[in-house]
Amino acid sequence: MGSLFATESINGQVIVYSRYCPFKPIKLAVIGAGNVGASTAYALMLSGLAAEIVIIDVNQSKAEGEAMDISHAVPLSSQTRVYAGGYRDLYDAAVVIVTAGVNQKPGQTRLELLQANANIFQKIIPEVAYHAPKTTLLIATNPVDVLTYVAYKLSGFPSHRVIGSGTVLDSARLQTEVGAMFDVNPRSVNAFVIGEHGDSEVVPWSLATIQGMRLRDFCNGADIPYEEKSVRACATRTKTAAYEIIKRKGVTDFAIASALTTIVRAIVRNEDSLLTVSRVGTYAGVEDVCLSVPARVNSKGARTLSRLILEPEEEEALRSSALQIKEAINSLMDPMQTS
């Protein structure tokens, strides 16, 4: 009879795990040690998903400081080795999360960040592809849809292994708003955002439910009025949430870190979770574009299950969002291909 345990060597350290445990020791990498990167590394450490987390930043001292700070929380949470490293440390990372880039300023749209962050990606993504050719790329840098497409092109990876954080965070914000409006736990709300992670995002209200009941049916059953104007205001507040947060604290980081951790968990635990991540595909008749619809996320990456059945106005809004992203992609990729 074979041993109940198996061993694996990670950077010279022998780690023992049970053969009956479905999860092997995992290395995760975070590129970018700014607010989002540091918060993400911290959230990942707390999650207990990884045996190792490596933080990489052009400012090595900043990466070291963040790694040291997070490491000091390890005895109070999950046993994880957290350290600052370089691109060669990516070689066996299961997921590489890219948060590096210029931050969104108050009043600035995500698309206005495009050129600066695309230039940064031209330096980062080829390094990732060279040192970690089998990893799954998870992009968080804004504008995330266009930069996920850029990462797909620069890496040469198949589309299912290049994932943007997309509208996972927007969907959580929407669930929070709907939960508050109807005075229910947001976890009981099944509503999501599709399209761009940005100003053209779409809420398919025809698919929104609370505990399996469409919103109008829930209101009828609870004997409360259904107000179309108030419901649509939830979508507006969802769309503008980042602007409001940035205006007050200068950055959004905690919620996106949680969203990224949710996506990473689905990958490393092979969950087959349906998440509104951003990936390259054809949407509402627009080919070779990157945006969010619910996709199955597991250890192989992300794959779209089937076309959403939307109301005509929702389908048109999704097409409009896709065309806007496509225009931004075209404006960027043409000069990149000739440079």
Q: Phi, psi at residue 79, to the nearest 5°? A: -70, 105
Is 37 labelled as part of a ligand binding site?
yes
Q: Which of 208, 211, 167 is nearest to 191 (CA)?
A: 208
Question: Residue 13, Cβ neighbours under 10 Å: how many?
Answer: 11
The strand ranges marked E within 207-277 are: 209-210, 213-214, 273-275
Bridge partners (DSSP) listed for residue 98: 31, 139
List 72, 131, 160, 197, catalytic entry:
197
Is 54 labelled as part of a ligand binding site?
no
Is 281 labelled as part of a ligand binding site?
no
Is 36 labelled as part of a ligand binding site?
yes
Bridge partners (DSSP) listed for residue 290: 280
Is 35 labelled as part of a ligand binding site?
yes
Q: Which of 269, 291, 272 is nearest to 281 (CA)?
A: 291
Q: How far apart are CA 20 and CA 157, in angstroms?
A: 32
Is 57 labelled as part of a ligand binding site?
yes
Task: Pull the structure tokens for residue 224.
Answer: 């409360």
Is 34 labelled as part of a ligand binding site?
yes
3-state SS class at 160: helix
Is 32 labelled as part of a ligand binding site?
yes
Strand order of the β-sheet with 52-56 is 81-84, 52-56, 27-31, 95-98, 136-139, 162-164, 278-283, 286-292
Q: Are 179 and 185 in contact (CB under 8 A)?
A: yes
Q: Phi, psi at residue 43, to the nearest 5°? A: -65, -40
Question: Residue 255, Cβ neighbours under 10 Å: how many?
Answer: 17
Does residue 197 have an active-site annotation?
Answer: yes
Residues that are catalytic: 197
Binding site listing: 32-37, 57, 117
Binding site listing for NAD(+): 32-37, 57, 117
